[in-house]
Amino acid sequence: MVGFFKGTATAMVTPFAPDGGINFGAFAKMIEYQLANGTDALLVLGTTGEPPTMTDDEKLALMRFAVEQTRGRAKLIFGCGSNSTAHAVEMAEKAEELGADGLLAVTPYYNKCTQKGIVGYYRAICEASSLPVIAYNVPPRTGVNILPATAEALCEIPGMAGIKEACGNMEQICETMRRVRGKMDVYSGDDNLNLPILAIGGAGLISVVSNIAPKECKQVYEYMAAGDLARANELEDRLLPLIDACFTEVNPIPVKYGCDLIGLDAGLPRPPLTELEDAHKKIMEECINRLGLKKV
């Protein structure tokens, strides 16, 4: 299945209030900031949204709020992945009931299933929902890698719409693209690899940095879609220091601080994640000032 979405999706942070609960007012402001700057899709409850520290009730409340706030102005993709296939299926069904446009399902983490297990996991999710499903390949976090042959096998499952690639291995991503081209879309899930993934036919970006710089990330995509590599490189060169700053510590620690700097009250991450170190705060501040990003 191809064509679910093209362009940029922001892997939204989940803002937390000082009392530890979800700050829905801040989340509304974040959604409006994305929509005002041309973001095509919002990914809620991806890695950047800290779902491992949230209860299912909190996740469902955030999904419901996103639907109500967005009102069809962008596609909504809800994270439903789990290390339990049964739980992933349950969350996929609930996401569809609440009004999602698509689903993102990270590979089963910690269990370290086989490649056959990966295929079975995604088949179960697709059979439970009529929504397009994007697989999320991020082995540095999960311990599981969707190999190119397995990605090709996923194309045979009705409802599989793509793969978000964050394996960090461009050689592997090229081979995955060769095997799935025309059958399933590939999305960049690693801001440092946005340009090369788009250059080999990537359908879009699922970005962390676009929480802070959505207009610039969308412009990179548009330059690449128009074949204007020179301008895409020029803008990406300006963005790369900010991209690096967003990963000085584990995501989403730095990007939440970056959101705070531009007037989006992201709050602190939930434990065991910690507040950004002072030295890294200075780097983030310098990068945002250099790009000339204004407060929202």
Q: Which residues are catalytic?
A: 136, 164
**Half-sphere CA count of 232, side-chain side, radius 13 A:** 18
Strand 133-137 and strand 185-188: pairing? unpaired
Q: What angle do CA 122, 207, 190 make, to 5 degrees?
A: 75
Reduce the DSSP state of residue 178 to 3 states and report it. helix
User: Residue 13 corresponds to which tokens in the numbers above?
Assistant: 């942070």
Instruction: Give the CA distances from residue 107 to residues 148, 183, 187, 201, 231, in Å, rounded to whole numbers and listed in that order.
Output: 14, 20, 15, 23, 35
**Tokens standing for 147?**
């190999």
Taking residue 215's Cβ as centre, other Cβ atoms within 10 Å add up to: 15
Rounded to whole angstroms, the Cα distance separating 185 from 172 reads: 15
Q: Which of 154, 102, 99 is nearest to 123 (CA)?
A: 154
User: How far is CA 245 from each of CA 18, 49, 196, rounded to the nearest angstrom?
Assistant: 24, 18, 20
Give the closest residue to 293 by CA, choosing from 220, 214, 228, 199. Answer: 214
The alpha-helical segments, DSSP class H, found in the chain are 24-36, 56-70, 85-98, 115-128, 139-142, 148-154, 170-180, 194-199, 214-225, 229-245, 253-261, 278-291
CB atoms near residue 182 (< 10 Å): 8
